[in-house]
Structure 1
Amino acid sequence: MSSPALARPRPVHRAADLLAAYLPGSFYFSSGRGSLLADGVHTTVQAPHGQRARAAADALIAADLAGVEEPLVVGALGFRPDAEASLVVPAVVRRAGVPERGGRASALDGSWSITPKPEPEVYAGSVRRALELIDADELSKVVLARCLELTAGAPVEVPALLARLVAADPAAHVFAADVSAPGDPAPRTLVGASPELLVSRHGSTVVANPLAGSLPRVADEAENRRRIDALLASAKDRAEHAHVAAQVADVLGGFCRDLVVPEEPTVLGTPTMWHLSTRITGQIADPAVSALALAEALHPTPAVCGVPVERARDTIAELEPEDRGYYSGLIGWTDLSGDGEWVVTIRSAEVCDRTVRLFAGAGVVAGSDPAAELAETSAKFRTLLRALGLEGAA
């Protein structure tokens, strides 16, 4: 009687090795749960808004039957329902642990020109217009974003930019995905370091961590403690945050049992910002509901759009001169069992040859101040600008 074949051990990779192996065209994703690098395309997943989770599930089953080892669907979805989407089953996926702290990355060299779109005073005027709509009871909240378009003297080194984002905050959700579309003059990459988990599913456990209500982080720790206390005490910021947490809890309540929603927010810190944060957990009621299905149901939350959603989305289209593209959409992965992790594509940029387009937004509610919202967007730009060596440019 022959002995049974031994199971082939899974290859062991270091997080630093995956990051070093990244090349434009790959899909990279790291978070507090680990990191992955995906290469090649086994299947492109194409489906209209609202049907992508079903199409992804079908593609995963087909890939499994075709012999793809532990297949995943990876990619990104844009902000609007009719926006671009980039979802694929990659040919090869490598996994590793969480990136180590203290990593180093080389500097990005070169000269830059920077064009704000719109000009800061125009953005402040849009905030004032949004406040008029709120005063007229047409809106409770709307998130307005602005864009910086940066042009370098030479093509931007995306691997170096990605490595600098990981080194700056290994605990963040750091990502890079090819989002090239017909007509692009060169390959286009979505890259960023998001603090906001839209939703994850691991086994039966579902987690969402909406953020809303923010203040810039500074170098002085005593001032940071004051800002944390100010955020927790701010009626305006707590009301803005409550809109988001309530909507996320309401949506997840339709899919989960034993939903736990903390009564009070906490404060989450990144290298550049402080955010009011609520970590919502539950147990999935139907194992057939994947992480991507949950993400589709949740998007867009009031953290990136507003209340009510349709009126806020129309206001964004009216008042923002630049189409958001993938900014404030979602990026992540889902596997054959339905597990996965999807994050909101904030603190992100789209890189194409010598051009970098980055966005930052602020939530406008009753009591918002246009100058303060403008300053908040400037602070949020710092994550990408710092990685580009341009922190003072916001």
Structure 2
Amino acid sequence: MYADEKTISSASGSNLLFSTGSRELRSFGPRRLISMPARGGEDWGSQFQRSVRQALDEARTEGQDNPIVMGAIPFDMREPSCLYVPQVYEWRERQAPRTAGSTDRLPALLDQRSIPDEPGFKKAVEQAILNFRHGDIRKVVLSVMRELRFAGSVDVDGLLDSLRMQNTSGYQFRVPLPDGGELIGVSPELLLQKEGDRFVSNPLAGSARRQPFPEADQAAADALLRSPKDLYEHRVVIDDIRRVLEPHCTELVIPDSPSVISTAALWHLSTRLHGRLIDPQMSALQLACRLHPTPAVCGTPTDQAHKLIRFVEPFERGLFTGMVGWCDSRGDGEWVVTLRCGIVEREVVRLFAGAGIVEASQPEAEWAETQTKLKTMLNACGLAA
């Protein structure tokens, strides 16, 4: 057993959940924790991949036919992973919410704060734009954290029910953390789904707020499809994903222009691309590590954007804008970007949202975008944005 791997009993925390389409994956019973940082995870021979394979091999030795690894990898892959190899798991039909009154069970909200606050975030946007004009960075994603403090421990099952009611088709997830907290959320963005030698990815970049009336809502979607700023932001993401994937593909199909998809709060520019791998043995986890972090959550060039984020953001992202999902011992799996999410630690809930910044960005509009993106989790907590 590697130093970063240990067995956790089912009594030490909740089980894992990952919902996709009409199905959901749930784990049960004891599980092995893999906290090895995922840096270098695109390489089959890396220490990270060796650690994952050893845990899967041990599960197979114990009688599992096709063990899986599931959980979350942080934004910065130099930080510890939070991956598990569960003793038992099952796929089943996606469950409906238990009750329509889930948020009624939440304790009273005592206080909340934004890190950074509105002036601080707008200053960071201005600083980023200044960097664009005097350097090579073309895009950077800046984020905010909203910290909520309640009068008592928050019922995570209730939050998940509320998320299900708001988002019937998003990728829902629940990952227990080693410190006793829980990562929960419902992501709209597919990083990578692989089966055999075929894969699909659906990056999102460029957003517009949904409107309450159908005609105005459609106009917002149409305006997004014509927005030079948002189309540029999206193209930066697609060009980078093409650069990463093309050398590993016998076939790569990327639409010439984006379409729009919607969540309850936002329209997003979306490009659904698919392809076939030269090496079908490359696992979903390897391929996801090769893609992560995309310019949709970091920026471009990646290393420089990452340095700028660490310089201007006043908090550590941790698992936010990382990836969450699963991969089985055959290499098939599905990973989504860790968005529309929060960390629950007893009476404290920390929510996260980000916005892609390019030279044409306006600080006021980018702040408004982060507040709109927070709505999903705020509504789950029974609060207005």
What TM-score, normalized to structure 2?
0.91
1:90 equivalent among 86, 93, 115: 86
Q: Of 34, 37, 45, which aligns to 1:45?
A: 34
The answer to whether the 8 Å contact 2:197/2:276 transfers is yes
Give 1:223 shift.
Answer: 1.1
Q: 5 Å matches for 1:38-187?
A: 38-48=27-37, 49-50=39-40, 51=46, 52-99=48-95, 104=100, 106-107=102-103, 108-112=105-109, 113-181=111-179, 187=180
Cα distance in structure 1, aligned partners of 2:245 and 2:18: 24
> Displacement of 1:221 after TM fit?
1.3
Aligned to 1:213: 206
Instruction: Give the match's secondary structure for 1:192.
Output: strand
Q: Quote the Cα distance in structure 1 between the aligned partners of 2:208 and 2:260.
A: 10
Q: CA deviation at 1:137?
A: 2.9
Once the two structures are TM-superposed, the CA of residue 374 in structure 1 deviates from its matched residue by 0.2
Q: Using the alignment, how far apart are the partners of 2:97 and 2:158 within structure 1? A: 17
Give the match's secondary structure for 1:282. strand
Deviations 1:316-361 (A, max 9, x none): 1111101101100011000011010001001010110100111111
- Which stretch shows the higher mean deviation, 213-222 or 301-310? 213-222
2:239 corresponding residue in structure 1: 246
Partner of 2:30: helix, strand, or coil? coil
* Residues 105/335 of structure 1: CA separation in 2 closer, same or farther (3 Å cut): farther
Aligned length: 367
Aligned to 2:18: 29
TM-superposed deviation, 1:297 = 0.5
**SS of alignment partner, residue 319 of structure 2:** coil
Partner Cα separation in structure 2 for residue 174 and residue 350 of structure 1? 14
Please state how far the C-alpha of 1:94 moved relative to its aligned partner.
Answer: 1.9
Q: 1:324 aligns with which of 289, 304, 317?
A: 317
Per the TM alignment, residue 58 of structure 1 is displaced from its structure 2 partner at its CA by: 3.4
Q: 1:164 Cα shift?
A: 1.2
Whole-angstrom CA distance in 2 between matches of 1:373 and 1:243: 18
Q: Conserved in 2, the CA contact under 8 Å of 1:53 and 1:290?
A: no
The superposition leaves residues 120-170 of structure 1 with CA deviations (integer Å, 9 ceiling, x where unpaired) of 111001000000001113310000001100001110101111121122112
Assess if the C-alpha contact under 8 Å between 1:288 and 1:338 holds in 2: yes
Runs (5+) with no aligned partner, structure 1: 1-22, 182-186
SS in structure 1 opposite 2:257? coil
Check the 8 A contact 2:140/2:299 in 1, yes or no: yes
Alpha-carbon distance, 1:202 to partner: 1.6
Gaps of 5+ in 2: 1-11, 41-45
Please state whether the residue corresponding to 1:88 is helix, strand or coil. Answer: strand
Equivalent-residue separation in structure 2 for 1:284 and 1:65 (angstroms): 29
- TM-score under structure 1 length normalisation: 0.89
| Equivalent residue for 1:260, pick from 236, 249, 253 | 253
Of all paired residues, the percent bearing the same amino acid is 38
2:66/2:330 contact within 8 Å kept: no
Cα distance, 1:101 vs. partner? 9.1
Report deviation, 1:47. 3.0
Pairwise CA distance, 1:115: 0.8
Q: Secondary structure, in 3 states, of the residue corresponding to 1:40?
A: strand
